[in-house]
Amino acid sequence: MSKVILVTGTSTGLGISIAVQAAQAGHTVYATMRNLAKRAALDAAAKDAGVSLKVLALDVQDSASVQAAVDTIIKAEGRIDTLVNNAGAGFVRSTEQATEAEVDWVMDVNFKGVVRCTKAVLPHMRTARSGHVLTVSSVGGLVGQPFNELYCAAKFAVEGYTEAMASYITPSFGINFTTVEPGGIASEFANNALAQIEGTGGILDDEYKPILMKYVGGAENRQNDGVYQTADEVAEVVMGALEADTPPVRVRTSKWAEDFCALKTQADPDGTKLAKQVFERFLG
């Protein structure tokens, strides 16, 4: 069945791949981004794929912008079947080095943006007694990593938020919740994270520097051990989750990601057992 799908963060990388693949599958896709002046790559990808996308402005850091986009879609389509919370940003900086403004920004983009968009679509999905909110998380939402503590904290928040919603909204209103957990995506996301280091003072000459240099240097080796996937490969996993009859609460996107998170996920790989257990304990 054709769905009305809202995708955030479609100016680059994974967002473009998700929007295009969803349109290729026959869905009506609203591809959104903060700055419509950056839509050229999206338009080119849609043209190459021979699909049509509906493009709207949506800034996940602005509640009014989010609500305006949702209202536009509801007015045109009468429903939103699926929200894909894809917009996000990397941040590589130790806690001591990060300013309070940077901490607020990381949490706002990666976590509060998810909450804003989810909050805007939920009333419509609840009325319909159906829907799916899928959020692109990260293996960093399950496993903390060096110099990524603030980014990981935001993604851990996304994971907890999704688990909690799945524990009572899914059985009560038929709305599914999923987090997709890639290891790494060979896209502009990583480049933007490195640019962010340079844009906020670069690599500082302090006691963290040799540790950070070791981390950055190891990134080259990690490119050869299976950590990075293409945006299209990750989008295929997203589409699989979106089209599943019983969507998972969480899903990794590669063998590398599965292996990396195994100690956290082996008892309940897709999160559905825990969601059921929590529901039964508190509401059963």
Tokens, residue 36: 């419509």
42 phi-psi bin (left φ>0, alpha ψ -120 to 50, beta other) = alpha
Contact criterion met (CB below 8 Å) for 37 and 59: no
The half-sphere exposure of 169 on its side-chain side, counting CA atoms within 13 A, is 24
- Angle separating helix axes 13-24 and 188-199, nearest 10 degrees: 160
- The set of catalytic residues is 151
Task: Tell me the DSSP string of 43-84.
Answer: HHHHHHHT---EEEE--TT-HHHHHHHHHHHHHHHS---EEE
Q: What are phi and psi of 55, to 5 degrees?
A: -110, 130
Distances from the Cα of 196 to the Cα of 147, 157, 159, 168, 267, angstroms: 13, 22, 24, 38, 37
b/e map of 170-197 (b: 16 or more CB within 10 Å)? beeeebbbbbbbbbbbbbebbeebeebb
